[in-house]
Amino acid sequence: MKKFGLIGYPLSHSFSKKYFSEKFDREGIKDCEYDLYPIQHINEFPSLLKEIGNELVGLNCTIPYKQAVISYLDILSEEANAIQAVNTILFREGKKYGYNTDIPGFESSLKDFVPSDVNKALVLGTGGASKAVLFVLKKLGIQSIIVSRTATDRTISYSDLSDDIISNNPLIINTTPLGMYPHTETYPEMNYKMINSSHYLYDLVYNPGKTLFLQYGEAQGAHIMNGLPMLIGQAEAAWKIWNQ
């Protein structure tokens, strides 16, 4: 039996187990199983690997361990090393390889969503997911401003998010967990009155399908997309890595 799974915390409403279980059934993939492995601290990772055993082929990694897991891996892909965030792990011949499939997942979904002439973006959040987003934006030549709770030499704060900045950045991407189930009442604080039909709001959150961030943008006429297309893209990219 080939074993796959997801590490992170908490994992009670994970997309991955349902997606891969249905994929195995739909495509007639035998002798494979995908499980959830919630760990409350990354230092539990080595003991988890011993517990699962040698049948483990691959893991996905989600919040809050996309960066912390790196110190436990042997080799990083070029992209994972560039952004210092891992969401896919391959176990082969005693080695642990780290990859980032958020990058191709986000890139393909963004190209389907946003016209090629959109060249300015606001990126809300500074976690592991934002690093993949920023990597793709740079690759596509889209200028970005990073918004965080606290201003630094690389970011502005939400209180610095002026009406002009919102108006002049047609693409706004939420990479934070704000609005994610069960905390559906939360959302990034900004002046949504400055959003209009020329804006594209992309929320990496997929549960619920329409967060308050997206609802507020849609009410102002904006184009909206949630994180489901990115998740599907990164999952399929992970499957290719595990079966290379």
pLDDT attached to residue 22 = 96
CA distance 95 to 56: 12
Active site residues: 66
DSSP string covering 57-77: EEEEE-TT-TTGGGGG-SEE-
Cα dihedral 88, 92, 94, 95 sign: negative
Q: What is d(CA 156, CA 166) in angstroms, rounded to the nearest whole number?
A: 12
Q: What is the pLDDT of residue 128?
A: 78
Q: How far apart are CA 170 and CA 232, in angstroms?
A: 25
Residue of 229, 220, 215, 214 lying closest to 198 (CA atoms): 220
Using CA atoms, how far apart are residues 17 and 14, in angstroms rounded to an integer? 7
Give every CB contact of residue 147 below 8 A, 6+ residues apart in sequence.
Answer: 122, 123, 124, 125, 155, 156, 157, 158, 160, 161, 188
CA 5, CA 178: separation in Å to the nearest integer?
A: 25
Grouped pLDDT means (10 residues each) for the chain, 244 residues: 96 87 96 97 98 97 93 97 96 97 96 97 92 96 97 96 97 96 95 98 96 98 97 97 95
Q: What is the homologous superfamily of the domain 2-100 according to CATH?
A: Leucine Dehydrogenase, chain A, domain 1 (3.40.50.10860)
Beta strand segments in 69-170, E: 75-76, 88-92, 95-99, 120-124, 143-148, 155-157
- Confidence (pLDDT) at 111: 97
The residue written with tokens 């961030």 in the block is 213
Domain 103-227 in the same topology as domain 2-100: yes
pLDDT at 145: 98
CA 142 to chain centre: 19
Domains of the chain, by residue range, sit at 2-100, 103-227
Element (H, E) at 172: strand 171-174
pLDDT at 215: 98
Q: What is residue 129's predicted lDDT score, i.e. its pLDDT?
A: 87
Q: pTM for this structure?
A: 0.90
Place of tokens 């189930």: 181
90: Cβ–Cβ under 8 A, 6 or more apart, which residues? 57, 58, 96, 97, 99, 241, 242, 244
CA distance 178 to 111: 24
| CATH architecture of the domain with residue range 103-227 | 3-Layer(aba) Sandwich (3.40)
